[in-house]
């Protein structure tokens, strides 16, 4: 019988415990040689690979991030993920809620990834049954609690972004608030995706499930993108302060600064608020 609880060094070759964001990626995990004292390590690599192989693109990256969080928690608690039982997963949920204080939607999403990992293990005959099968999951409200900016707040945010010394600020707010893009759609947009269709400027965007759509660019959004692109002919539209592609964390920090500059009193300005703002603005214009 394989021991249920093991030392962290047996799982990861004497690596120090890490938080979710600091744990090695799956590529690193896959490159770690199996240790003779930990014969299950090869099975774990195979199980993780099988789970992630079911996804592509952004979905794969998000799944890997959520699964990495669970594997990090197991490592810190000396738990072999392939020998976990239902009470262990109940404790994992409590840890996300009470220690990390994640939102209910985040807890639900991350545990769904964990449950999917064990479901794949059952399908591949790595485990006989899933320990996540009867775990009590947190109840997530059907209605989204996220609220967008008011019309005046959005105007103030646009003004602050337009007057910012960083030309990417205006493009960021335009892509999220004027076009209604998701944050990963905005940050993954490239200069090569700009073009024309039937006399209209458009932006080619890769959405959920690698679905590609052409989004018409209103004049304000087109000007914002032109300012951000400047003389560049290739690469991402949105760059961070180091000249690399902007990610969602950098975008959130930029929005925090812009909201403070605009004098907007909100608890936490984050990118998805602008998507909600776009939906509200479109509804308002439709019924005017």
d(CA 103, CA 97): 7
Q: Which of 70, 52, 60, 57 is nearest to 107 (CA)?
A: 70
- Write down the pLDDT at residue 279: 67
Return mean pLDDT, the chain.
82
In the chain, what percentage of residues exceed pLDDT 70?
Answer: 80
Average pLDDT over residues 170-194: 92
35 has a pLDDT exceeding 50? no
Residue 141 lies in a domain: no
Residue 176 lies in a domain: yes
User: What confidence tier does 36 reach under pLDDT thresholds 50, 70, 90?
Assistant: very low
- Write down the pLDDT at residue 276: 76
Same domain for 202 and 109? no
Q: 129-137 long-range CB contacts below 8 Å, 24 or more apart?
A: 131/84, 131/85, 131/86, 131/88, 131/89, 132/86, 132/89, 133/86, 134/86, 135/86, 135/89, 135/90, 135/93, 135/111, 136/90, 136/93, 137/93, 137/108, 137/111
User: What confidence tier does 281 reach under pLDDT thresholds 50, 70, 90?
Assistant: low
End-to-end CA distance of the chain: 70
- Write down the pLDDT at residue 109: 92
Residue 71 lies in a domain: yes
- Write down the pLDDT at residue 4: 44
Give 51-105 pLDDT, tens digit per residue.
Answer: 999 988 778 888 999 999 999 999 999 999 999 999 999 999 999 999 999 988 8
223 has a pLDDT exceeding 90? yes
152 has a pLDDT exceeding 90? no
Same domain for 86 and 20? yes
Average pLDDT over residues 109-125: 95
50 has a pLDDT exceeding 60? yes
The structure tokens listed for 10 are 């047996």
Identify the helix (H) or strand (E) that includes residue 184: helix 183-187
123, 142, 169: which is the final residue of a domain?
123
**Per-position DSSP letters for 45-113, written without gaps between them:** HHHHHHHHTT--HHHHHHHHHHHHHHHHHHHHTTB-GGG--HHHHHHHHHIIIIIS---HHHHHHHHHH
Torsion angle of alpha carbons 238, 240, 242, 243, nearest 10°? 0
In the chain, what percentage of residues exceed pLDDT 90?
Answer: 53
Lowest mean pLDDT: which of 33-47, 92-106, 131-145?
A: 33-47
Give 262-273 pLDDT, tens digit per residue.
Answer: 998 776 777 878
Same domain for 90 and 167? no
Residue 146 lies in a domain: no
Residue 222 lies in a domain: yes
Q: What predicted TM-score, i.e. pTM, was given to this entire model?
A: 0.61
Domain region containing 261: 151-286
17 has a pLDDT exceeding 80? no
Same domain for 51 and 165? no
């Amino acid at each position: 019988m394989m021991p249920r609880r093991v030392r962290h060094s047996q799982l990861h070759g004497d690596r120090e415990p890490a938080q979710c964001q600091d744990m090695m990626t799956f590529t690193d995990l896959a490159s770690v040689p199996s240790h003779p004292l930990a014969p299950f390590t090869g099975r774990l690599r195979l199980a993780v690979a099988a789970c992630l192989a079911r996804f592509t693109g952004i979905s794969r990256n998000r799944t890997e991030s959520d699964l990495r969080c669970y594997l990090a928690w197991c490592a810190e608690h000396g738990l072999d993920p392939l020998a976990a039982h239902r009470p262990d997963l109940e404790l994992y949920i409590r840890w996300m809620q009470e220690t990390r204080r994640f939102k209910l939607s985040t807890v639900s999403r991350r545990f769904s990834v964990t449950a999917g990992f064990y479901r794949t293990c059952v399908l591949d005959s790595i485990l006989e049954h899933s320990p996540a099968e009867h775990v009590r999951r947190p109840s997530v409200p059907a209605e989204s609690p996220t609220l967008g900016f008011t019309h005046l707040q959005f105007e103030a945010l646009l003004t602050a972004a337009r007057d910012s010394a960083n030309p990417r600020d205006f493009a960021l707010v335009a892509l999220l608030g004027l076009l209604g893009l998701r944050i990963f759609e905005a940050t993954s947009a490239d200069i090569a995706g700009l073009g024309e269709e039937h006399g209209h400027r458009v932006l080619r965007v890769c959405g959920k499930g690698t679905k590609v759509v052409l989004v018409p660019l209103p004049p304000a959004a087109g000007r914002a993108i032109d300012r951000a692109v400047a003389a560049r002919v290739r690469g991402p539209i949105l760059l961070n302060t180091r000249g690399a592609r902007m990610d969602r964390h950098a975008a959130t920090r930029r929005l925090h600064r812009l909201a403070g500059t605009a004098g907007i009193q909100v608890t936490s300005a984050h990118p998805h608020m602008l998507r909600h703002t776009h939906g509200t603005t479109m509804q308002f214009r439709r019924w005017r």
